[in-house]
Structure 1
């Protein structure tokens, strides 16, 4: 097993990219929950224009976070595939767990209507 310390740039990249992925996943879940709550609220009282504007803003924010999480997921996955010498490191397994959580969040919190 190749031992590397935390000062190694590759290890730091694993740690940083994993943290970004975890943060974006948490953010997406929170935004999607707010979006869902607004969906229910709008459905019960559609005559409120400010609620409609809030709904659209939340939809845009959630969709943008979803796209950003997808991009970061793909970048971390590609980075991990290039670093096969670290496939047995603890940081690799933490990154792998973050990828699993991210793909779950991407599926569960998928936007109902695409922005593009």
Structure 2
């Protein structure tokens, strides 16, 4: 039996400019993750730092579906960033990609 799942994933890769890494990490820990997790449909978030190569930072957000990033709640936060968000994003190269899950049955579930 094939189960159709339309879960989404937001993948964000970040490379801070020299001298802005600590601000990026504090912003994520103290403001950004909680703000994003308050958006309906964002179910979890994780951050990673590359052991080598780059971009140095990766954030993964599990979504109820890929359309979460087009929802009014998500777009409101994107359109009206906090002062800290504006400051951090001015000094970080950011690549965002949204994905839809295509796995028929996720590994470990059948």
If the length of structure 2 is used for normalisation, what is the TM-score?
0.29
- The structure with the largest strand share of the pair is 2
Greater relative contact order (Cα 8 A, min sep 6): structure 1 or 2?
A: 2
User: Which protein has the larger Cα radius of gyration, Structure 1 or Structure 2?
Assistant: 1
Say which structure is richer in helix: 1
